[in-house]
Structure 1
Amino acid sequence: MIEIKEAQLASILSEAIQQLKAEDECRLVSITKKIEKTDPLYFFNAAKHIGNRSFWTSSDHLLLLAGAGMAHQMTSDQLRIEATQKQWDTLLREAFVYNPYGVPGTGLVAVGGMSFDPKKKPTELWEKYKPSHFTIPEFLLTKYDDSYYFTINIYVKKNDHAKQLADELEQMERRLLLPTDSTADDLIMTGCLEVAPQQWKKSVQKATEEIGRGKVEKIVLAREVRLKYNRKADITAVLSGLLKTQPNSYIFAYEIEEDCFVGATPERLVKIEGKQLLSTCLAGTAPRGSTKEEDVKLRDELLHDEKNLKEHDFVVTMIKQAIKDCCIQVNIPDKPVIYPLKNLQHLYTPVRGLLKNGYSIFDIVEKLHPTPALGGTPREESLSFIREHELLDRGWYGAPIGWVDSNKNGEFAVAIRSALIQGDEASLFAGCGVVKDSDPESEYEETKIKLLPMLSVLGGKNK
């Protein structure tokens, strides 16, 4: 199954081991191989016994990552961007990376994310998810375009036996790449609790009053729905449902022990390939129509809706200001277009730039997060209001989630349209942008629409 062109696994491991000098010295070795076509969901399901799985696919489905296990992790509570960048740079300097392909998402790859607001005290709900948490999977399946790659990441010591390690790794490899199927019974919702909806509407009203005083232009408020099921949710089945129903979205999952944060977000934060930077403004929302005529009508209304256009322009302006010092040039279209999803349609504007030397994707993430689409504007004033008045701990909801590789490629999305699954329970999250003329009831209805993508694959049809 594995196509090895330049070196055998054992000889690469032996070379890395021989470079170690001290008996107690260890080194991370990363080896990438090209493989035959493999179903990523089969791989993800087969990795259940390893745990700590991860999954990511870009919105255009050009790139897909599926990870299993934890060869190395990078976590941080304080100064999280700076600390994560420092840990990543150190790892890159010290690791032994064998990757003859240079394809994005191959070689040494870190997958993970961050919390929305590290200044807000976390609750028990998100206790397993650090303010910054990235994993180097033990085993990583990468699909790029129509090619497939398999990466092994393992720490080796001076007295390790390369041939023995290679045999064990190849045995695990065969097990993970062997076709398996998930045959779980239908997930049935047995309980649904909206967390304080009336109090949430009052917080929207407070936000409009705050905006009316002229201190803030926009505040984004989110709410939580807690669901109960007849059994433990099967994450493979959830991902399969999202891939079928949300074809234009980023599909992601990040599992830590028994918890899994999963979602289908349409919103890119930033993508970097070489020096090319792409960010996305996706703000302003309307439902899809039940007929073609209704769909066109709703689309045209969204393109001319003053509230949504203003909300969209907030984000475009912020992204431009945030990245201009990091880029040689920034290119932005004059007007937004429509980005259609199955349940929703959004105003969409791409922002492109050429990254200057000395900057990384982590620098851009720090400058962009949170965008006005998830926090508000001005940033600090809106975040202060959210900390005081929002009724939930967002955790990783609305925060950057994505990957970075050893060839200076990477991509982060904004983790909306998401759920934190914990055994036979799940918390779903949705938010809306509150401006001066916002109506609490209308904003509440908008959040109900935004919950649909996750509800559709988490038993919502059965309630």
Structure 2
Amino acid sequence: MSSPVVDPAGAPGPVPLVVRTVEIDDPGPLLALLPRDEALAWVHHGDGLVGWGRAAVHSGRGPERFTRAHAWWREVTRHSVVRDEVGLPGSGLVAFSTFAFHDADPGSLLVVPQVVVGRRDGRAWVTVIGTSISSAPELAPHEPANEPRLVGLRDGSVAADAWLDVVAEAVDRIQAGRLDKVVLARDVVADLAEPLDVRAPLQRLAASYPGCWTFVVDDFFGSTPEMLVRLERGLVTSRVLAGTIRRTGDDTHDLTLAASLARSSKDLEEHEYAVRSVVEALAPFCTSTNVPEAPFVLHLPNVMHLATDVTGVVAGDVSALTLASALHPSAAVGGTPRAEAVSLIREIEGLDRGRYAGPVGWVGAGGDGELGIALRSGAVADDGLSVRLFAGCGIVADSVPEEELAEARAKLVPVRDALS
């Protein structure tokens, strides 16, 4: 394969790539095809995209990171030669993406793989990308992933007791009228006996949470239930999750809990803020939007969420990256009003979020793509011997710190169990 074309400075410029996509027989489980190094994935109900290698890379930071990524990507696509024999979303030239939550933080990347394997609607394909013509590799499952050996969990940036005080401070600010809602995150650190083979937790997450979008980009992995933006042939969809209750494992009791969640004034208020923020962000780009009258309850193995799918028809030349820039951070992961909430997060959270709760997913050459919110996620340390796990909770005026801590612990379960 060719050496990658790297753009670390964020300046757009021509990156000539040769791209070929051909249809193939069903390759079986997509995650089983991944090599251990430079793995990339975006999988939902077994379909999606996996990739490896780096044909081109863009990195950036700052408030213009989405705009610069979009400009770079347009230049890459404009100078590339693409032969796509499949013509489905995700075939042809694609880039996997991950963005930091805060403007100033590093870690925002677009990665164009050297090989992409995709499956959708019963059809499968392989794409080869480089600076010269290359033949498609033979596809077969790699050696089984090494099982992680978890040594233990420890508090991350803020201890549990101290985090209760952080939540109480946020409640005081909200009750004083400074803002309506803020989302506060916490982290824990999982220590491992040997460097992590990220394929093992990926496969566990995909098996346990098939309805979520399981991802890995640049050693940042997880399984998110929340789609920030999907853009496909002019139709945009954004799934809003806000309002959470833990499951007990008793199906009858969980149905009762789901009904209480759907009637909870605190959770409905939190959800309304999140939906409103998405609708307002999409409005300048859409000729029409549709918002269901009431949320539905999304059942996951460990928790249940209030959920709303907002849809719209976009006008003009709009890309998934442009929409992600407008939507991030939504009230579901930042708060309301946005500027005041993000400022308070910076002031009291005490946590370097990195790419947690930032957009993650893929974008195609025409601007279509899928970008989820990087929840239920973990960041692998450079030496592979530890993973920072993240969870967040929406805080409103009547939030109870102890209940929010319990909710955060419940949200840590998926990635924690994937490492156990």
TM-score range, shorter chain: over 0.9
**1:276 and 2:260 matched:** no
Structure 1 residue 181 displacement after superposition: 3.5
Aligned pair partner of 1:377 in 336, 345, 354: 336
Q: Deviations over 1:147-206 (max 9, x none)?
A: 1111111113xxxxxxxx64xx45xx12xx12333152x433212111322221111111
SS at match of 1:372: coil
**1:191 and 2:159 matched:** no
**1:69 and 2:32 matched:** no
For 1:100 and 1:179, the matched residues in 2 are separated by 24
**1:247 and 2:207 matched:** no
For 2:193 and 2:369, the matched residues in 1 are separated by 38
**1:84 and 2:69 matched:** yes
Structure 1 residue 377 displacement after superposition: 0.5
Is the contact made by 2:16 and 2:76 (CA closer than 8 Å) also made in structure 1? no
For 1:247 and 1:312, the matched residues in 2 are separated by 24
Aligned pair partner of 1:143 in 119, 123, 136: 119
1:153 is aligned to 129
Aligned pair partner of 1:181 in 122, 130, 143: 143
Is the contact made by 1:200 and 1:391 (CA closer than 8 Å) also made in structure 2? no
Structure 1 residue 100 displacement after superposition: 2.3
Structure 1 residue 421 displacement after superposition: 1.9
Structure 1 residue 26 displacement after superposition: 7.5
Distance 1:26 1:311, change over 3 A: closer
Structure 1 residue 84 displacement after superposition: 0.8
One-letter identity of the residue aligned with 1:249 = C
Distance 1:30 1:191, change over 3 A: same
Q: Hey, which bits of structure 1, 4+ residues long, moved more than 4 A?
A: none
One-letter identity of the residue aligned with 1:361 = A
Please show how residues 158-237 of structure 1 align to structure 2 within 5 Å. Answer: 166=134, 169-170=135-136, 173-174=137-138, 177-182=139-144, 184=146, 186-195=147-156, 196-237=159-200
Q: TM-score, normalised by structure 2?
A: 0.92
Q: Deviations over 1:72-128 (max 9, x none)?
A: 012222311111111111111110011022111010001011000113xx4xxxxxx
One-letter identity of the residue aligned with 2:40 = S
SS at match of 2:131: strand
2:291 is aligned to 332
One-letter identity of the residue aligned with 2:41 = F
Aligned pair partner of 2:274 in 310, 315, 318: 315
2:389 is aligned to 428
Structure 1 residue 375 displacement after superposition: 0.5
SS at match of 1:187: coil
RMSD over aligned Cα atoms? 1.7
2:32 is aligned to 42
One-letter identity of the residue aligned with 1:146 = G
1:3 is aligned to none
**1:93 and 2:69 matched:** no
For 1:193 and 1:42, the matched residues in 2 are separated by 31
Structure 1 residue 289 displacement after superposition: 2.9
SS at match of 1:456: helix
For 1:214 and 1:367, the matched residues in 2 are separated by 26
For 2:363 and 2:172, the matched residues in 1 are separated by 41
SS at match of 2:16: strand
For 2:145 and 2:406, the matched residues in 1 are separated by 35
Structure 1 stretches lacking a partner, 5+ long:
1-24, 123-128, 157-164
1:54 is aligned to 40
1:20 is aligned to none
One-letter identity of the residue aligned with 1:33 = V
Is the contact made by 2:15 and 2:76 (CA closer than 8 Å) also made in structure 1? no
Q: Deviations over 1:122-148 (max 9, x none)?
A: 4xxxxxx52x20011011111112211
Is the contact made by 1:339 and 1:345 (CA closer than 8 Å) also made in structure 2? yes
Aligned pair partner of 1:110 in 88, 95, 108: 95
For 2:15 and 2:246, the matched residues in 1 are separated by 54
Structure 2 stretches lacking a partner, 5+ long:
1-13
One-letter identity of the residue aligned with 1:411 = E
Q: Deviations over 1:195-218 (max 9, x none)?
A: 322221111111111111101111
Structure 1 residue 290 displacement after superposition: 2.0
More helix by share: 1
Q: TM-score, normalised by structure 1?
A: 0.84
1:412 is aligned to 371
1:12 is aligned to none
Is the contact made by 2:15 and 2:75 (CA closer than 8 Å) also made in structure 1? no
Is the contact made by 2:31 and 2:41 (CA closer than 8 Å) also made in structure 1? no
Is the contact made by 1:114 and 1:401 (CA closer than 8 Å) also made in structure 2? yes
SS at match of 2:88: coil
SS at match of 1:264: strand
Is the contact made by 1:271 and 1:412 (CA closer than 8 Å) also made in structure 2? yes
One-letter identity of the residue aligned with 1:445 = A
- Work out which of the two has the higher radius of gyration on C-alpha atoms and give 1 or 2: 1
Aligned pair partner of 2:21 in 32, 35, 43: 32
One-letter identity of the residue aligned with 2:102 = D
For 1:145 and 1:231, the matched residues in 2 are separated by 38
For 1:290 and 1:27, the matched residues in 2 are separated by 53
1:441 is aligned to 402
